[in-house]
Structures are given as C-alpha cells and as structure tokens.
Amino acid sequence: MGYSIAEAARTSGLSIDTLRYYERINLLDPPARDAAGRRSYSDEDLAWLSFLTRLRTTGMPIRRMREYASLRRRGIASAGRRKAILVEQRAAVADRIAELQACLEVLDYKIANYEHLEQNIPAVQHEASA
Amino acid sequence: MGYSIAEAARTSGLSIDTLRYYERINLLDPPARDAAGRRSYSDEDLAWLSFLTRLRTTGMPIRRMREYASLRRRGIASAGRRKAILVEQRAAVADRIAELQACLEVLDYKIANYEHLEQNIPAVQHEASA
DNA sequence: AGTTGACCTGGAGCGCACTCCAGGTCGTAC
DNA sequence: GTACGACCTGGAGTGCGCTCCAGGTCAACT
C-alpha cells in the first residue's frame, strides 16, 4: 500500500529529483506521507504520472501540463477545457508526425546518395550539399 | 547574386541571429562578404542550410550536426561516417514516430472518454486519472 | 550634410526542464 | 549504540539553443 519515491521513479521512468520537481511546480498533487514523513504514492498517483509522461513525450510544454493539472483539480466542470487541450495536442502530434515523415524521406534520399557514392555510381546530387 | 542575411533568414525560416549563431559555432562555413563586409549567401549555402534545418527538425542535437558539418569539410573521405550518422538519425526518427503514434492512441482514448462524459454515458475510466 | 535602415561585432541574458548539492532526519541491521 | 541507506528540504547550478543588446560601420535617399 503506497509506493516509495524510488518505486515511483522506477515505474514512471522519471528520476526521483524530477518527481519532487513536478510536485513543487504543481504538476503532481502532494502524495500521502508515511509515518516518517516520506512520500507514499498511490496507484492513482502513478496512473496520473504515467499520463503526464505521455503528454511530455508528445512534447507538451510543462506550462501546459500544469494548466491541465490545475483544471483537473477543479473537477468535472473543467472537462470541456481539458478535452480541448487534448484535442489541440492531438493535432500538434499529428502535425509533428507528418513533419518527421517528411524528414525521413529526405534522410532516405541522402542515404541513397551515399550508397550510390559507395558503388562509384555518380551521385544524383553534387557532394557540396550532401 | 548572393543573398543577404535577411534573405537567407527568410528562406530558411531561421532568425538572423540564429544564422550568425550557427556560423559562430561552425555549423555554417563563413559565407562570402560583399564590398561593405556584409554576408552574402550562395545557393549552395542555402541548400546546406535547408538540410541543416531538416536535421534540426528531426531533433538532432546541434553537437551532432556540428560533427556532421566538420566531416563534410573533410571531403569525400568522410562519406562513410556521414552516412552512418544519417542512418542512425533515420532510426531515431522512425522510433520517435512510433512513440508519437502510441501517444496519439492514448490521446484518442482520453478524448473519447471526454466525449462519453459529455453524452452522460459513464466514462470507461474513472475521472481521477483523466 | 543628415537621417535612415540594414548590417556588423562581442558578449550577456533567457526560458526550459531538469539535476545536483549541503545539511539534516529516520528506521533498520549489525 | 552506531553505521548505513533511503529519504527529506531549500536553493543553486547546468546544458541547450537560441535571443537580445550596445555600440559601431556603411550605403542610399532627401
């Protein structure tokens, strides 16, 4: 019943320092404490943490995650605004994927050029821009 | 013949300050100068710049781009190492796309939950972790 | 001749997201 | 009872990638 900060760090993939930092900046509600004053994370804490790390992975800035966290604290009434944030982030992620895919193509093209070079076939594009 | 720094900024999407910064850290070879000592970028400079911005878009750290730039200066002999960098970056980009796609799914799931909420259909997951 | 505006340099400053540190308190194992 | 290790706090420090600034030069326009 209750995970130590080390356990929370291990399961979330964040460092202990980062967990305390997230708490300090109000991303994480202060978890329960054990008799000795040590943090004791609940399953719910970990679930929220896991969602937060997902948002981080998408590149959402911490400022925005704080906004989301603060809305969440206000309960069901803020659901509309929270949804809007997620919808917006979804769009940003989709855009980012498209952008990366375009870069993949450029990389493939350049890599192919290097392969031609290796085979002594004249490169499609001159070396200067490779 | 030759683009001013303002033109180079416009076509690359970088700021003038960033162009000078890139030059300072040896990402960009110093461009030609006009009679008054102002930078004059060639088409080749712009092509290289455009490739650099692609690499940046993929999230390649500047340190690594500098390494690539320095290899490029050594000419054809470094082609193998340059190719290796691109191949590695290609893999990183592919991984990142996969990661983002997984996040998209989580977002879609959460958004669907909010939609259920709006329709008064009980959410699949309890509010606490939403 | 004077004003504007684009450009120049070296160097300082900034926002972000951590990360590290000193100095201290507990609880358990020897 | 003491050594150890995990944890605590407040605050300072770090690395990255720019971004901004002061003070200056130069060419073109009025």
pLDDT score of A122 more than 80: no
Question: Would you state the pLDDT for residue A123?
Answer: 52
Give the span between the Cα atoms of A104 and A110, in whole angstroms: 10
CATH of domain B1-73: 1.10.1660.10
Distance (Å) from the alpha carbon of B28 to chain A's nearest alpha carbon: 12
Q: Which residue has the tokens 């679930």?
A: A47
Question: Would you state the pLDDT for residue B121?
Answer: 60
pLDDT in tens, B80-112: 999 999 999 999 999 999 999 999 999 999 999
> Chain B contacts of A76, Cβ < 8 Å?
117, 127
Q: Name the closest residue (CA) to the C1' of nucleotide C25.
A: A36
Q: Which two tokens stand for residue A128?
A: 């200067």
Q: Where are the beta strands (DSSP E) in A11-126?
A: 32-33, 39-40
Question: Would you state the pLDDT for residue B1?
Answer: 76
Q: What is the DSSP letter of A123?
A: P
For residue B34, give the 3-state DSSP assignment: coil
pLDDT score of A126 more than 60: no
Protein B36 CA to nucleic acid C1 C1', in Å? 22
> Chain A contacts of B118, Cβ < 8 Å?
79-80, 83
Closest CA to A3 of A18, A17, A19: A19
pLDDT in tens, B18-35: 999 999 999 999 999 999
CATH number of A1-60, picked from 1.20.140.10, 1.10.260.30, 3.20.20.70, 1.10.1660.10: 1.10.1660.10
pLDDT score of B9 more than 80: yes
pLDDT in tens, B34-54: 999 999 999 999 999 999 999
State the Rg of chain A over Cα.
22
pLDDT in tens, A20-75: 999 999 999 999 999 999 999 999 999 999 999 999 999 999 999 999 999 999 99
Count CB neighbours of B108 within 10 A. 13
Question: Would you state the pLDDT for residue A130?
Answer: 47
Higher pLDDT, A91 or B118: A91
Is-contact B124 B113, C-beta < 8 A?
yes
Protein B37 CA to nucleic acid C3 C1', in Å? 22
Please judge whether B118 and A79 are an interchain contact, meaning their C-beta atoms are less than 8 angstroms apart: yes
Question: Would you state the pLDDT for residue A117?
Answer: 87
Q: Which two tokens stand for residue A7?
A: 């356990």
Nearest CA in chain B to A111: B83
Nearest to B87 among A82, A106, A111 (CB): A111
Nucleotide in closest CA–C1' contact with A19: C18
> Chain A contacts of B110, Cβ < 8 Å?
51, 86
Domain borders along chain B are: 1-73, 90-130
Strand partners, A86: none
Q: What sign results for the dihedral spanned by CA atoms A35, A43, A72, B100?
A: positive
pLDDT score of B77 more than 70: yes
Tell which B residues from 47 to 76 touch A, by Cβ distance under 8 Å. 47-48, 51, 54-55, 57-58, 72, 75-76
